[in-house]
Amino acid sequence: MKKNDLIKTENGIFRILSIEADRVLAIDCIRKTMPKFYPISSFDNGEFVDCLDADFTDMEDLSPTHRKVAQERYTMIASAVSVVDDIPKRNLMIEKSAEQFGMSKQSIRSFLCSYLVYQDVAVLAPKQTKEKELTKDQKNMRWALNKFFYTRNQNSLPTAYAMMLKAKYCDKYGVLLPEYPSYNQFRYFYRKHRKMENYYISRDGIKNYQRNNRPLLGDGVQEFAPTIGTAMLDGTICDIYLVNESGQLVGRPVLVIACDANTSLCLGYSLLWEGGTYSLQTLMLNILEDKVSLCERMGIRITPEQWAVNQLPAVIVTDGGSEYKGQTFEQIAEIGITLVNLPSYRPELKGTVEKLFDLVQNSYKDLLKGKGVIMPDYQERGSHDYRKDAVLTMQEFERIVVRCIVHYNCERVIQNYPYTTEMLDDGVLPYANTIWNWKKNEAGANLIDVSAKDLVLTLLPRTNGKFTRYGLKTNRLRYYADGYKEQFLQGGSAVVAYNPDNCNKVWVREKDGSFVEFSLIENRFSDMSLDAVQDIQRQQKQLVQDTMRDNYQAKIELMSFIETVSAKVNTTEDVQIKGSRSVRKSAKKQRHKDIGGVIDE
C-alpha cells in the first residue's frame, strides 16, 4: 500500500492520501465525504483498483472558459490540499477560502473532495448545462432590484418590491393588476441571485467596501500564501543612469519583478525604458522563458535547479496601479489566473517584493558608485549631478541585474522561513530556489501551464470588429479567414485581438475563448505598425479634404462650359427621323479617317 492507491473493500472504494504508522488517511470515492483516518488493518483484505470511472472531460479538451473555472476552483482549495492530513489546519484553510472567495464552506469541501478522489483539476470544471431563460416576472424583479435596491438610496427590500408593483403591475389609473408576483417570490429571487460584493459596493460605495467589508487576507505573507503559486508584482525606477552605445545619456530604466510570496523566489523580471502594460506583458513572457538559456545569453552559467520557473502563478497580487487595472492585463484572468488588487492602505501585503527590490539594488549600488548610481542626496540643493557619471549601457546593466537575481534566489540565506518537519527531514537548504523546488513537488503547488503563444494572444489589446462583404473590418483595415463566408454575408460584430506593432494579422476571440487568425487583405499595409497605418490614413484623408475645393470649382467650370455650348445650338421643334439609317451611314463616312496616313509620314 502506498500513497494515492485505490483500494476496494466491502464498504466501498477508498483512495489513500497519507500513511502513518498504524493508520491511513483515506477518502471514500463513492460517497465523496471528507477524508478521515482509518486503522491500517481496515484495508488488509481490500483489492487494488487501477482507476475510477471518470465522468469529466480531460483538461486539454476543455474550452478555455471551463479551464479558467477549474483553475479558479483549484485556487480555492490549494491551501487545504497542502495540509490535507492536518485536520484542524485543513478546516481553518477551508474557512478562510470560503471567506476570501465568497463561497460557502460546503462548496469548498465539495471541490476539495472531488479533487482528492480523482487527483485531477479537470474534475472541478463546471458541467455544461443550459441556463434557464428568465420569465417576464423574473426580468421585472431583476430590473426592480437594479433600479430601486442596488443604489445609494439604500431602499429596503419591501420598498423596492412596492416600487416594482407601482412601475410594472399597475394600469394607467394606478390600480394594481389582478396578477402580480408575491413578496416571497421577490425575496426568493433576490436571495438566489444576490452577490454580496455587488450589494456592498452599490449601496455603500467602493471605498467603504474596501475599508469595512472586503475579505480579510490575514496579517502575514505565509498565512496569505501558504503554498507556492501566489506572485507579487511591482515595478520601480532603478537608482542608476544609463547611456546608449554611443555614450549618450538615456536615463533611468524601469525594473518590474514578479516574486513568489511563499518562498520569496524571483519568478521573472522585465527591464525596459517604458513601464505600463507592455512591461507586464514582457514580464509574463520572461517567467515562461527557459532561464538557463536566458542566463547563457548574458554569459552567466546556471543549472536548471537554480531557477526552475517555467509556469505562471495562479494568483497575482498587485498594488492596484493603473497598469494592473487596465483591461489588457486583466485579460490574463481568462487563462485561470486570479488577480488580487490590494488597496492603497494595505502595502504590508506586498512587502516581499518590496524587499526584493531593496536587496537587488543594494547588491550593486556600492560597487557602481561613480558610474551613474544615484545616492540619497541627489535631490538636495547643490548635490552632485549623477547623470554625468553614467557609463553603463542597458545590456551591461541587465547582466548585472540578472546576476543579482541569481544571487538572491540561490545564495541568500532565508533565516526565518517556517520550516515543516518534512522539510527538515528532507534536508531542504534555506535558499529560495531549494525551498521552491521542494514545494513545487508537493501537493497544493498552484501553478499554471500555458504556452507563450496563448499568453501573448490573451494579453494583446482588443477592439471591436465588424463582418462585411469586404471582410472583417477593424482598426479601419480589412482582414479575411477561411470558413467565415456566412459571417461575411450575414454581418455582425466580433471581439478582435491585434498587435499594435504589426498589422499583418488579427485574431478573433470566439465564444469558447479560442482565437482564430485573420490575415490582412490590403497588402500595401503589410509589416507596418498600427500607428504608421493610421498616419497614412490621416494623411490621405487630409489630402482629399485639401483638394475638395478644387474639385467643386472644376465641377462648376464644367457645368458652365456645357451650358455655354448648349446655348449656341439652335433648337428645332421637329427633328426629321425618316431615313435616319442612310443619314447615319453618310455621317459615318464623313467622320471616318484613314489612320494609315500616320504610317506614311
For 421-463, what is each residue's pLDDT tens digit? 988 999 999 999 999 999 988 888 889 999 999 999 998 999 9
| Gap between the Cα atoms of 36 and 87, Å rounded | 8
Q: How many Cβ atoms sit within 10 Å of the Cβ of residue 14? A: 24
Name the residue type at position 416.
Answer: N
Q: Report the relative pairing of strands 230-237 and 315-318 from DSSP bridges.
A: parallel
Q: Report the relative pairing of strands 315-318 and 462-468 from DSSP bridges.
A: unpaired
Residue 38: pLDDT band (50, 70, 90) is confident
Instruction: Output the nine-digit C-alpha cell for 341.
Output: 488588487
Residue 584: strand, helix, or coil: helix
Q: What is the tens place of the pLDDT at every residue in 310-320?
A: 999 999 888 76
The answer to whether the beta carbons of residues 25 and 33 sit under 8 Å apart is no
Q: What would the mean pLDDT of 468-476 be, rounded to a whole number?
A: 94
C-alpha separations of 534 from 117, 461, 476, 477, 539 in Å: 56, 16, 8, 10, 9
Per the listing, cell 517567467 goes with 287
Which pLDDT belongs to residue 303? 93
| Gap between the Cα atoms of 286 and 29, Å rounded | 41
pLDDT at 71 over 50: yes
C-alpha separations of 65 from 179, 268, 333, 450, 495 in Å: 41, 27, 10, 14, 15
Q: What is the tens place of the pLDDT at every residue in 94-121?
A: 999 999 999 899 999 999 998 898 888 8
User: Is 331 or 351 the better-scoring residue by pLDDT?
Assistant: 331
pLDDT at 166 over 70: yes
The answer to whether the beta carbons of residues 430 and 415 sit under 8 Å apart is yes
Interior angle at CA 16, CA 13 and CA 18, nearest 5 = 160
Name which of 127, 159, 124, 164 is nearest 144 in CA terms: 164
Residue 54: pLDDT band (50, 70, 90) is confident
pLDDT above 70 coverage of the chain, percent: 93
pLDDT at 220 over 60: no
Percent helix, strand and coil across the chain, each to the nearest 5: 45, 15, 35
Residue 601: pLDDT band (50, 70, 90) is low
Q: What is the tens place of the pLDDT at every residue in 192-208?
A: 998 888 899 998 888 77
Name which of 462, 466, 505, 497 is nearest 484 in CA terms: 466
Q: What is the tens place of the pLDDT at every residue in 228-285?
A: 998 988 888 999 999 999 999 999 999 999 999 889 999 999 999 988 778 888 999 9
Name which of 485, 487, 489, 490 is nearest 511 in CA terms: 487
Which pLDDT belongs to residue 321? 65
The answer to whether the beta carbons of residues 343 and 210 sit under 8 Å apart is yes
Which pLDDT belongs to residue 558? 93
pLDDT at 344 over 80: no
Which pLDDT belongs to residue 39? 87
| Gap between the Cα atoms of 159 and 448, Å rounded | 47
Q: What would the mean pLDDT of 364-378 be, rounded to a whole number?
A: 85
Q: Report the relative pairing of strands 315-318 and 338-341 from DSSP bridges.
A: parallel
Instruction: Output the nine-digit C-alpha cell for 311.
Output: 509556469
Q: How many Cβ atoms sit within 10 Å of the Cβ of residue 554? A: 11
pLDDT at 219 over 50: no
The answer to whether the beta carbons of residues 48 and 6 sit under 8 Å apart is yes
- Please enumerate in sequence order all residues whose Cβ is within 8 A of that of 585, keeping only pairs 6 or more positions apart, or say none: none
- Would you give the distance in Å from CA 5 to the centre of its chain? 37
Backbone angles phi, psi at 20, to 5 degrees: -115, -170
- Please enumerate in sequence order all residues whose Cβ is within 8 A of that of 450, keeping only pairs 6 or more positions apart, or say none: 288, 311, 312, 335
Q: What is the tens place of the pLDDT at every residue in 538-589?
A: 999 999 999 998 999 999 999 999 999 888 887 767 777 888 888 888 888 8
Name which of 12, 79, 4 is nearest 42 in CA terms: 12
